[in-house]
């Protein structure tokens, strides 16, 4: 089984080639330098940059030398214009090669990236598990009963946690994307000496992060800020954001007895989050799985991992269009 996978939901163009369970290629072109000067992703610039790079990456992947069994792409959620680029490319290749076109959910990709170890797809999950997806556009908790068996427990009511990291970073004058810079700044501080309220939605499994970002802006208002203050604010923000994620994940673990939780998406690269989750979940006898750092951000290897599970289960239809607000749903 050989899968060609394409990812272009936001600001990374990526092509992967999977042979059996072995990842042969995972090429990523990041547009960060293009968007940095605008302090965020500009959708029009993103789709243009995907169009510029996708053919080059495809040819570099060497897929024409392989016998491809299926082409897959992230069907959504994502930016409309960006999604069209990978849909066009993947549907053209699949038509040309006369192989199925498998559209997968980008967020499912973030979950399944936890099973890519040493460039190989492994069977690591012991279902049922809880999944926490934390990216620039989404913060979601799922109950996962198997591959393709997903129930959404809760999502964010407003900002995603990655978005809150990026907006807070912007308030502090850091560059885009701010998440990694907040982590770096926070690491310089042992104790911030103050705390922001932990944003908890009463009952259920929903999140809310816009109030935390506002609390940071109030803290900054009218004050003369020096670097040391920025480090403290970054540390206090990060602590509060991670605590909010932890509280709801612990609630999910109490309600649904599981042995594992999997955390995926860009924010899962955060070392502080990894430490806190691992320690707290150990007390509950729950193992926490994270992707290898290089698979936390957007990449096509995770898209290939989704298509691999579908091909293995024989559960796929030819995809006919991308979907910008695609929701997670059962396919198995």
Q: For residue 188, what are its two tokens? A: 């310089």
Give the number of residues written for the chain. 332
Position among 3, 10, 89, 301 found at the interface with ligand KG4 (CB under 6 A): 10
* Minimal distance, residue 7 CB to Zn ion, in Å: 8
- List own/partner pairs for 174-182 with CB under 8 A and 24 or more apart: 175/36, 175/39, 176/32, 176/35, 176/36, 176/38, 176/39, 176/40, 177/32, 177/136, 177/266, 179/136, 179/266, 179/267, 179/269, 179/270, 180/269, 182/234, 182/237, 182/238
Measure Cα distances from 138 to 83, 263, 314 in Å: 17, 12, 29
> Is 190 in contact with 231 (CB distance < 8 Å)?
no
Residues 139-178 as x/- pattern, contact with Zn ion by CB under 5 A: ----------------------------------------
- How many residues bind ligand KG4 (CB under 6 A)? The answer is 19
Q: Does 135 interact with Zn ion (rule: CB under 5 A)? A: yes
Nearer to ligand KG4, 141 or 269 (CB): 269
Q: What is the rounded CA–CA span in Å between residue 226 and residue 103?
A: 48
Within 294-323, the residues that bind Zn ion by CB under 5 A are: 298
Position among 109, 148, 180, 291 found at the interface with ligand KG4 (CB under 6 A): 180
Within 297-316, the residues that bind ligand KG4 by CB under 6 A are: 297-298
Residue 165 partner contact from ligand KG4, Zn ion, none using kind-dependent CB cut-offs of 5 to 8 Å: ligand KG4
* Minimal distance, residue 139 CB to ligand KG4, in Å: 10
The stretch near Zn ion (CB under 5 A) out of 16-24, 132-140, 188-196, 243-251 is 132-140
* Minimal distance, residue 107 CB to ligand KG4, in Å: 8
Residues 36-75 as x/- pattern, contact with ligand KG4 by CB under 6 A: ----------------------------------------
Q: What is the rounded CA–CA span in Å between residue 22 and residue 306?
A: 14
* Minimal distance, residue 66 CB to ligand KG4, in Å: 27
Q: What is the rounded CA–CA span in Å between residue 292 and residue 269?
A: 8
* Minimal distance, residue 179 CB to Zn ion, in Å: 12
**E strands in the chain:** 2-7, 12-19, 22-30, 70-76, 101-105, 116-117, 120-121, 129-134, 139-146, 149-154, 260-264, 287-289
Within 238-277, the residues that bind ligand KG4 by CB under 6 A are: 265-267, 269-270
Q: What residues line the site for ligand KG4 (CB under 6 A)? A: 10, 135-137, 162, 165-166, 177-180, 183, 265-267, 269-270, 297-298
Residues at the interface with Zn ion (CB under 5 A): 135, 298
């Amino acid at each position: 089984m050989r899968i060609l996978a394409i990812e272009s939901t936001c600001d990374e163009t990526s092509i992967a080639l999977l042979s059996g369970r072995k990842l042969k290629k995972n090429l990523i072109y990041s547009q960060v330098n293009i968007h940095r000067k605008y302090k965020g992703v500009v959708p029009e610039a993103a789709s243009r940059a995907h169009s510029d790079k996708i053919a080059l990456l495809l040819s570099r992947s060497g897929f024409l030398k392989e016998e491809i069994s299926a082409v897959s792409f992230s069907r959504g959620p994502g930016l409309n214009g960006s999604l069209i680029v990978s849909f066009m490319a993947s549907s053209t290749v699949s038509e040309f090669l006369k192989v199925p076109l498998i559209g997968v959910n980008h967020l499912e990709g973030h979950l399944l990236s936890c099973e890519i170890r040493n460039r190989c797809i492994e069977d690591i999950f012991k279902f049922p598990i809880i999944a926490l997806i934390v990216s620039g556009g989404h913060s979601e908790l799922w109950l996962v009963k198997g591959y393709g068996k997903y129930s959404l427990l809760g999502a964010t009511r407003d900002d995603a946690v990655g978005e809150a990291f990026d907006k807070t970073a912007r308030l502090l004058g850091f560059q885009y994307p701010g998440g990694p810079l907040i982590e770096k700044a926070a690491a310089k501080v042992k104790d911030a000496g103050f705390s922001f309220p932990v944003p908890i939605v009463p009952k259920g499994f929903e999140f809310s992060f816009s109030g935390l970002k506002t609390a940071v802006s109030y803290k900054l208002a009218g004050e003369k800020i020096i670097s040391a203050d920025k480090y403290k604010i970054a540390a206090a923000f990060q602590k509060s954001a991670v605590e909010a994620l932890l509280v709801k994940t612990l609630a999910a673990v109490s309600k649904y007895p599981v042995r594992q939780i999997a955390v995926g998406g860009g924010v899962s690269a955060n070392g502080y989050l990894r430490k806190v989750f691992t320690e707290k979940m150990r007390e509950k006898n729950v193992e926490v799985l994270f992707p290898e750092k290089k698979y936390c951000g957007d990449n096509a290897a995770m898209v290939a991992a989704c298509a691999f599970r579908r091909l293995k289960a024989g559960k796929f239809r030819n995809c006919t269009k991308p979907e910008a607000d695609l929701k997670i749903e059962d396919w198995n």
